[in-house]
Amino acid sequence: MGRKRTKPGKIRLAEVARLAGVSPITASRFFRTPEALSVAKRVRVESAAKELGYVPNLAARALASQRTEVIGVLIPSLTNNVFADVLRGIYDALDGSRYSIQLANTRYSILQEEKLLRLFLAQKPAGLIVTGIDQTAESRSIMESADCPIVQIMEIGSNPIDMMIGFSHYEAGRAAISHLLAQGFGRIGFLGARMDPRVQRRFEGYQATLKQAALLDPRLVVTTTLPSSVKIGGALLADLLSKAPDVDAVFCANDDVALGVLFECQRRRIAVPDQLAIVGFNDLEFMEATVPTLTSVRTNRYEMGRDAAVMLVESIEGRRPQEPIVDLGFKVMERQSSWPRGS
Amino acid sequence: MGRKRTKPGKIRLAEVARLAGVSPITASRFFRTPEALSVAKRVRVESAAKELGYVPNLAARALASQRTEVIGVLIPSLTNNVFADVLRGIYDALDGSRYSIQLANTRYSILQEEKLLRLFLAQKPAGLIVTGIDQTAESRSIMESADCPIVQIMEIGSNPIDMMIGFSHYEAGRAAISHLLAQGFGRIGFLGARMDPRVQRRFEGYQATLKQAALLDPRLVVTTTLPSSVKIGGALLADLLSKAPDVDAVFCANDDVALGVLFECQRRRIAVPDQLAIVGFNDLEFMEATVPTLTSVRTNRYEMGRDAAVMLVESIEGRRPQEPIVDLGFKVMERQSSWPRGS
DNA sequence: CCTTCGCGTGGTAGCGCTGTCAATATTGGC
DNA sequence: GCCAATATTGACAGCGCTACCACGCGAAGG
C-alpha cells in the first residue's frame, strides 16, 4: 500500500514554511503574490527560502494551478536568419521573467503547425506566439477557443486571432518596386525562393506596382519552392537572364538570394547596378558590407520578437494592450546596388 | 473545505480507463510500457483514448513520476548560424519522440551558463546538452551530481562530464594552416572575432603550426571580442593590412569574417587568391557560391546536433553508447580562394 | 459601543498521474 | 492433475503545490 517516496534531502515549500514559522499557504503566496503578505512574514519567508535553497517544483505548481508559465513559440524554420533575430528578441524579452519558452518548428507546413498547436495547447501554456496569418481553419478555431493570449508575428492582417505584430509584406514589396521605378529601372525581375505566404505577398506587391506602371511581364518572374540560399540566388538569376536578357533590375524576395545574384553578376561580369540593379529583402547584416553595397528592405525582426513577448506577458498578466494590431513597418535601405542608371 | 475544481469536460486517464473497462493504472501503463499489457487491453485502451481524444497531463505525470521528458539545451548564441544548424539537428532527432526541448541562451557567459544549469536541473530534465568544455568548476560539479545524462557538444576534450560529441578545434586550425602552407603561402594572418574558447583553440592550432614552420609573426594576428560579422571581417582585414602589408593569406576563424574579408579585397582591388588567399571556418552555405569560391573548414554541425540528441535519448533509455566521446572530424574544403600562388 | 469592511492568514482537499507491492490469471513442467 | 513460475492487473497512497473558503483582527462608520 502506497510508498515511502519522500526523499529526506528534498526541500519543499512546507519546509520553508516551517522554518519561517508560517503556514505553507502563506509561503506559497510569497512566491506568487508577495504584495499580499505583511512585510514581516515576507522577510521571514524570503530568508527561510534562501537559507534552504528552495526551488519551487514547477510540475506541482502546474498541476495544482491548472496552468503553466510556458510560452509556446511556433516558427517555420530554425535555419532562416530572419527567425533567429525574432527568437533573440523573444528570449531577450523573457529573460529573467517567470516565463519559459517552448519552441517548435513547423517547417513551413500548416498541417505540422496544427499538430503542434494541439500539442502545445493541451499543456495549457500561459501564452502563444505563432508565425504568420495563414493558419488552417482548424488551427484558427483551436486557437480561438484556447484560453490564453496569442500573438501572431511577422505579418499583419485584418482579423487577428488575438493580437498581431508585424508589417505588410505586400506594402514592403510595393515599396521595393516603387524605389526601383523611381530610380529609373523599367524591366524589373522578381526572384523568389521558398514561396511561403509572406514571399507570396511581397510578390503580389511587386505585381501590383508594376501592373500599375504597365511594366508587368511574366517572363521577368522566376521562382522556386526550394529554400532560399545564396546558391539558389545564382541559379535563379541564370534562369531569369536566359528568359529575359533585357532585365535591368531584380527584386529578390530574400537577402540570401540577393547575395547569390550579386556573385552571379560578378561571375558573368555584369556590372551592378549599371547593367543590373539588385534589391533584397530583410536587410541582413551583410547587405551593407558587400561590394557594391546592396539595397534591401529593412524589417524590424528583433523588435518584433521582443514586442511580441512583451505584449503577450502584459496580456497574460491582465494588462491587455490598447491596440491588438501593431505595425512595425519597414524601410527601404537605399544602397549602391540600386543607384540610378548612369549616375 | 476543499473545492469542486473538476471540470466536467476534462478528459482524464480515469475516463479512458472507464471506457476501456480497465483500471486507471492499466491505462497509464498503456502510455508508458504498452508491451506489458495483453493485446486485448492494449487495443481497448488505445481505441478508448482515441475516442475521447485523451491527451496526458504532463504536469501530473512529472509530479507523480518525479521526472520530466524535457531535454535542456544550452547554447551560447541564437544568432550564430553555426548553432542554428546544431539546433536543427537536435530538433529533427527529437521530432516525434516523447521528449521536448527546453532551449536557453548563455550569451557566451559561463556564469550565465551556471545560472541556467541550476535552473534546468532543479526541474529534473531527462537529459542535458551543453555547449563546449569550458564550464566553471561549479557548473561541472553541479552537472556531475545531476542524475541525468549530459552531452557536451561542439568540441571534444579529454575528460567529459558524461558524453561528448564534436571535433578538435585545435586540429582544425592546424589543418587550415597546413593547407595554406602546402599551397605555398608563408605570411599567413589570423583574423578572429568573439574569441570564445573554440576560436581560441583554432588560434592555438594556427600558432602551433606556424611556429613549427618558423613562420609565426604576432603582427599577423588581429582579433576582436566583438561578435563575428561580415562587416567586422572587413575591419579586421583593414587593420591587418596596415600592420602587415606583406600578408599573403588569412585564416578567418569564422566564415562571416571570411566573407567580409573577400568584400574588403574587392573594395581595395586585392586579387584573391593571387594577392591574398582566404580560408574561412565552418563552411557555411554561401562559401561555395562566392566569387572566387572560398576555402573553408567544414564542420558537421547538423550531424553533431542530431547525434547528440540520439546519444542522449539512448542513454536516458538505458542504452548507454559504447564510446562516450565521439569525434565527428572536419574537412578542409579546398576552393579557389586558396589556390596556389601563381597557378 | 457595536457593526461593517477588508486585510492578512490558515485549513482542507484536491490537481491527474504513477511507484510500490499485492493479487490474480496464465503457462509450463513433472 | 498439481504446483511453481511467470505474465497481467489492480489498490492504495501520495508527488508538492495551490484554489477555495473561513476566520480573526483592527479600522472606519454610525
Residues recorded for chain A: 343
- Is residue A207 domain-shared with residue A187, that is, in the same domain? yes
Is A34 inside any structural domain?
yes
pLDDT for position B132: 97
Query: Which of B86, B284, B286 would best serve as a mutation to test chain A binding (most A beta carbons within 10 A)?
Result: B286
Using alpha carbons, select from B125, B94, B123, B153 the residue that is nearest to residue B304: B153
Q: Which residues contact A197 (CB under 8 A, 6 or more apart)?
A: A132, A133, A134, A155
Residues spanned by the domain of B26:
13-56
Mean pLDDT of A275-300: 98
Average pLDDT for A5-33:
83
Q: Which neighbouring-strand residues pair with B331?
A: B298
pLDDT above 70 as % of chain B: 97
Residue-wise pLDDT tens digits, A216-238:
999 999 999 999 999 999 999 99
The three cell numbers of residue A125 are 501554456
Task: Give the CA A109 to C1' C2 distance in Å.
Answer: 70
User: A255-278 burial, b if ≥16 CB within 10 A, otherwise e?
Assistant: bbbbbbbbbbbbeeeeebbeebbb
Instruction: Say if residue B132 is in the same domain as residue B183.
Output: no
Q: Which cell goes with B2?
A: 476543499
Cα B173–chain centre separation? 18
Q: Which nucleotide is nearest to A65 (CA to C1')?
A: D18
Q: Quick one: what percent of chain A has pLDDT higher than 70?
A: 97
The answer on B175 and B126 residing in a single domain is no
Q: What is the pLDDT of residues B7-62, one digit of tens each?
A: 556 788 988 998 988 888 999 999 988 888 888 888 989 999 999 989 899 999 99
Asked whether the beta carbons of residue A285 and residue B229 sit closer than 8 angstroms, the reply is yes
Nucleotide nearest to A26 (CA to C1'): C9
C-alpha cell at A253: 524576395
Judged by CB atoms closer than 8 Å, whether chains meet at A286 and B259 is answered as: yes
When divided into structural domains, chain A yields a total of 3
CB contact under 8 A, A256 and B62: no
Q: Are residues B229 and B320 in the same domain?
A: no
Question: Does pLDDT of A141 surpass 60?
Answer: yes
Residue B161 or A23, more confident: B161
Query: Residue A14, CB, less than 7 Å from strand D?
Result: yes
Which of these, B304, B338, B8, B4, lies nearest to B183 by C-alpha position? B338
Judge whether A8 lies within some domain: no
Query: Considering the domain boundaries, does residue A264 fall inside one?
Result: yes
Residue B62 within any structural domain of the chain: no
Q: How many CB atoms lie within 10 A of CB A281?
A: 29
Domain-located, residue A276: yes
Q: Are A137 and A22 part of one and the same domain?
A: no
Strand D positions within 7 A of protein Cβ atoms: 7-22
The pLDDT value given to residue A4 = 45
CA pair distance B258, A12, nearest whole angstrom: 53
Write out the E strands in chain A.
Answer: 70-75, 100-105, 127-131, 150-155, 163-167, 188-192, 221-223, 249-252, 277-282, 295-299, 325-327, 330-333
Same domain, B312 and B164: yes
Residues 14-73 of A with CB under 7 A from strand C: 22-26, 29, 36-38, 40-41, 60, 63-64, 66
Does the pLDDT at position A87 exceed 80? yes
Note the pLDDT tens digit of each residue in A241-258: 999 999 999 999 999 999
**pLDDT in the model for residue B343:** 59
**Least-confidence region, from A44-58, A282-296, B207-221, B327-341:** A44-58
Question: Of B187, B197, B254, B198, which is closest to residue B221 (Cα–Cα)?
Answer: B187
Give the per-residue pLDDT at B1.
Answer: 39
Q: Which residue is nearest to nucleotide C22 (CA to C1')?
A: A1
Q: Do A115 and A35 sit in the same domain of this protein?
A: no
In a domain, A65, yes or no: no
Beta bridge partners of A166: A154, A327
Q: For the packed helices B24-32 and B39-52, what is the interaxial angle rounded to 10 degrees?
A: 90
Distance CA A180, CA A252 (A): 12
Please report, rounded to whole angstroms, the spatial distance between the CA atom of protein residue B20 and the C1' atom of nucleotide D1. 36
Q: Is residue B64 in a domain?
A: no
**CATH of residue A259:** 3.40.50.2300
A173 and A293 assigned to the same domain: yes
**Domain shared by A183 and A40, yes or no:** no
pLDDT tens per residue across span B88-145: 999 999 998 989 999 999 999 999 999 999 989 988 899 999 999 999 999 999 999 8
**Closest CA to C25 C1' — which residue?**
B38
Domain assignment present for B158:
yes
pLDDT of residue B3: 45
Rounded to 5 degrees, φ, ψ at A68 are -120, 175
> Residue B4 has what pLDDT?
47
Q: The sheet that has A127-131: what strands, in order across it?
A: A100-105, A70-75, A127-131, A150-155, A163-167, A325-327
Domain shared by B182 and B293, yes or no: yes
Residues A173 and A282 in one domain: yes
Write down the residue that cell numbers 562516450 correspond to: B324
pLDDT band at A270 (very low <50, low <70, confident <90, very high): very high
Residue B31 belongs to a domain with what CATH number? Answer: 1.10.260
Q: What is the mean pLDDT of residues B265-271?
A: 98
Whether A343 shows a pLDDT value over 70: the answer reads: no
Name the percent of chain A lying above pLDDT 90. 81
Separation CA A155–CA A301 (nearest Å): 11
pLDDT of residue B342: 62
Task: Read off the pLDDT of residues B293-341 as tens digits, 9 standing for 90 and up.
Answer: 999 999 999 999 999 999 999 999 888 999 999 999 999 999 999 999 7
Q: Coil, strand or helix: which one is B52?
A: helix
- The pLDDT confidence band at residue B2, using thresholds 50, 70 and 90, is very low
Whole-number Å distance between alpha carbons of B177 and B163: 30
Residues of B with CB under 8 A from a CB of A: 5, 55, 57-60, 62-63, 66, 68, 78-79, 81, 84-85, 87-88, 91, 100-105, 118, 122-123, 229-231, 233-234, 256, 259-260, 263, 266-267, 285-286, 288-291
What are A165-213's pLDDT values in tens digits? 999 999 999 999 999 999 999 999 999 999 999 999 999 999 999 999 9
Same-domain status, B91 and B158: yes
